[in-house]
């Protein structure tokens, strides 16, 4: 059902306020218009693109929660976190992340996403990677979205080490896995 521009834009604002993670493609489908129309509507309404909306929501939500590093040092965007338990981040692989010859993501970007998430999940002022065992399970291509999920598996009070597993996915397909042994400066309570 097509709507007039004013009604569509009002509904667009409401939809994005309700779910800031909705894509332009999903909005175009919902309102039965082209993606370009959605982009023009967003531009007119001064609504940023998805990446900027995600970043803004994450910064607002997690700026007081993440203790071990500033949010701007996290590779990818944190979308969920429970300190010393679990965390999730997303990384949209763009031109700057890939090799120019074949558009395959450089491995250090995937590692950096996982490693910074393993640091961010630690409930401490200081968290450093002591050791990591990683495995890339498939190549990631330009324009793919990587969702990294970190889970704290063990906290060793004696050594001050926290063990974090990180699994990264593209469309629910495993592309990276890592076991991180993290040093923390304080013992947990």
CATH number of the domain within which 12 lies: 1.10.10.10
Residue 58 falls inside a structural domain:
no
Q: Is the pLDDT of residue 31 over 70?
A: yes
Q: Is the pLDDT of residue 186 over 80?
A: no
Domain total in the chain: 2
Residue 91 falls inside a structural domain:
yes
- CATH code where residue 105 lies: 3.10.129.10
172 exposed, middle or buried (CB, 10 Å; 0-12, 13-18, 19+)? exposed
Q: Give the tokens for residue 179.
A: 């076991």
pLDDT-derived band at 129 (thresholds 50, 70, 90) equals: very high
Same domain, 159 and 69: yes
Q: Is the pLDDT of residue 51 over 90?
A: no
Return the minimum-mean-pLDDT range out of 32-41, 61-70, 110-119, 160-169. 61-70
Same domain, 30 and 108: no
Is 129:180 a contact under the CB 8 Å cutoff? yes
Same domain, 121 and 166: yes
77 exposed, middle or buried (CB, 10 Å; 0-12, 13-18, 19+)? buried
Same domain, 129 and 72: yes
Q: Closest Cα partner for 178 from 143, 145, 148, 147?
A: 148
Same domain, 166 and 107: yes
* Per-residue confidence (pLDDT) for residue 160, from 0 to 100: 85
**137 phi and psi angles, rounded to 5 deg:** -105, -15
Give the Cα-Cα-Cα angle 81, 159, 180 (nearest 5 degrees): 45
What is the average per-residue pLDDT within 108-133? 93
Residue 59 falls inside a structural domain:
no
What is the average per-residue pLDDT within 43-54? 80
* Per-residue confidence (pLDDT) for residue 136, from 0 to 100: 97
What is the average per-residue pLDDT within 102-119? 96
Same domain, 42 and 79: no
What is the average per-residue pLDDT within 68-85? 79
How many angstroms separate the CA atoms of 171 and 188, rounded?
Answer: 35
Question: How big is the chain by its Cα radius of gyration, in Å?
Answer: 19
Q: Closest Cα partner for 125 from 63, 72, 185?
A: 185
What is the average per-residue pLDDT within 1-23? 84
Q: Give the tokens for residue 3.
A: 């709507």
* Per-residue confidence (pLDDT) for residue 143, from 0 to 100: 94
Maximum C-alpha span of the chain:
65
Q: Is the pLDDT of residue 149 over 90?
A: yes
3-state secondary structure of 148: strand
Return the minimum-mean-pLDDT range out of 23-27, 29-33, 50-54, 104-108. 50-54
Residue 189 falls inside a structural domain:
no
Residue 85 falls inside a structural domain:
yes
* Per-residue confidence (pLDDT) for residue 175, from 0 to 100: 98
The per-residue pLDDT of the chain, averaged, comes to: 87
Domain, as residue range, for 37: 5-47
Is 91:143 a contact under the CB 8 Å cutoff? no
* Per-residue confidence (pLDDT) for residue 90, from 0 to 100: 92
Q: Closest Cα partner for 75 from 61, 65, 90, 63?
A: 90
Same domain, 40 and 88: no
Residue 54 falls inside a structural domain:
no
Same domain, 91 and 149: yes
Same domain, 34 and 103: no
Same domain, 102 and 164: yes
Same domain, 109 and 145: yes
Same domain, 125 and 77: yes
């Amino acid at each position: 059902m097509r709507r007039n521009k004013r009604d569509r834009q009002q509904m667009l604002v409401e939809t994005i306020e309700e779910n800031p993670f909705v894509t332009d493609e999903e909005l175009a489908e919902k309102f039965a218009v082209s993606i370009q129309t959605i982009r023009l509507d967003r531009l007119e309404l001064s609504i940023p693109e998805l990446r900027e909306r995600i970043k803004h929501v994450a910064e607002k939500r997690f700026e007081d929660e993440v203790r071990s590093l500033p949010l701007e040092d996290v590779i990818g965007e944190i979308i969920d976190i429970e300190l010393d338990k679990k965390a999730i981040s997303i990384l949209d692989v763009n031109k700057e992340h890939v090799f120019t010859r074949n558009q395959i993501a450089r491995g250090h970007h995937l590692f950096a996403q996982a490693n910074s998430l393993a640091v961010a999940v630690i409930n401490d002022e200081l968290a450093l990677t002591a050791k990591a065992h990683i495995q890339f399970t498939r190549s990631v291509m330009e324009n793919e979205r990587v969702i990294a999920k970190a889970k704290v598996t063990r906290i060793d009070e004696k050594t001050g080490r926290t063990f974090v597993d990180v699994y990264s996915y593209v469309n629910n397909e495993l592309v990276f896995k890592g076991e991180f042994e993290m040093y923390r400066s304080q013992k947990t309570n």
